[in-house]
Amino acid sequence: MLTAWVPVLLCCAGLLITFTAGLWNIGIEGQIIMGAIFATGVMRAAQNSLPPVPMLILALLAAVVGGGLWALSTGVLKLYGQVNEIFGGLGLNFIAGSLTVYLVLGPWKRPGIGSTSGTQPFSPSLWLPPAIQGVNVSLVELLLGLAAIILVYIALRGTYFGLRLKAIGKNLRSAFLLGVPTDRYMLAAFVLCGALAGMAGWTLVAGTSSRHQLFPLISGGYGFLAILVVLLANLNALWSIPISLFFAAISMGSLQLALQAQLDSSLGGVIQGMLVLAVLIVGGLRARLVARRR
């Protein structure tokens, strides 16, 4: 459960920023993948020349840069290419996924093996140790996830940065007229979200329960899951913590459905989707009722 929780939590933190600014960053899956690719690249290049701790820190920074740059591409496409962030993001997701396959089968393939199962796993010295024995997540990952969501909560609730993003999300033109540099803030929102998604990619490469390698579909749908969480939490950062834990539990638990209850594992996704749809429909109906009463 905690295996999925940390990447989902990091993605939630990022999506809260873009969604607040009214930017539907569907390209978050690609940003996770690019984070994982950049982290893998650094770890492959320097695994014999740096001690584990600086190496992991360097890989984390690389993941932040990778995810951030990929998200920046979506922002640039939106602002200067008139490409809606939903379509731009989806396109970039495909490119990032294809790039992974190319790297796994091409320049980063395992010696003597031509398989999509993944790159050569990293040495155990580069694996983050579990927080306590029997728990499949490290203290670093947990702290990273929780710190990210709390910092985003503070930024959105208590800073002018958050207030300006909210103004952009509510009414772009009015925000501009009130003196908000809207383009700059939207790009910053994309970059921050991508950086946090990149961190999630890092946990999928270096985390305690990760496979310690790059492989196709490494993002595992955690970005899309985070979108559901954030929608269900109604863009509330604090509510995203328990909801993401619940959704991570469903995701991981559903894998056992086929084994223990002879049910299809996709039932977990159906439950998550239905839950979000139900909440969105009720929210929509309530808004209509309020508007009609006025």
Question: Given the rule CB under 8 A, which residues bind another protein?
Answer: 158-161, 163-164, 166-167, 170, 178-180, 294
User: Which residue, 10 or 155, has its beta carbon nearer to another protein?
Assistant: 155
Q: How far is the CB of 165 from another protein (least distance, A)?
A: 11
Q: How far is the CB of 280 from another protein (least distance, A)?
A: 20
Q: How far is the CB of 166 from another protein (least distance, A)?
A: 7
| Tokens, residue 42 | 């650094």
User: Rounded to an integer, what distance in angstroms lies between the CA atom of residue 228 and that of residue 125?
Assistant: 35
Q: How far is the CB of 159 from another protein (least distance, A)?
A: 6
Torsion of CA 234, 235, 236, 241, to 10 degrees: 100
The amino acid that residue 140 corresponds to is: V
User: Which residue, 78 or 164, has its beta carbon nearer to another protein?
Assistant: 164
Task: Give the Cβ contact number of residue 84 at 10 Å.
Answer: 14
Q: How far is the CB of 180 from another protein (least distance, A)?
A: 7
Using alpha carbons, select from 148, 179, 184, 185 the residue that is nearest to residue 166: 185
User: Which residue, 9 or 180, has its beta carbon nearer to another protein?
Assistant: 180
User: Which residue, 261 or 291, has its beta carbon nearer to another protein?
Assistant: 291
Using H for helix, E for strand and C for coil, what is the string for 1-46?
CHHHHHHHHHHHHHHHHHHHCCCCCCCHHHHHHHHHHHHHHHHHHH
| Tokens, residue 92 | 């970039």
User: Rounded to an integer, what distance in angstroms lies between the CA atom of residue 241 and that of residue 239?
Assistant: 5
Q: How far is the CB of 171 from another protein (least distance, A)?
A: 8
User: Which residue, 161 or 239, has its beta carbon nearer to another protein?
Assistant: 161
User: Which residue, 160 or 260, has its beta carbon nearer to another protein?
Assistant: 160
Cα-flanking dihedrals φ and ψ of residue 293, to 5°? -70, -30
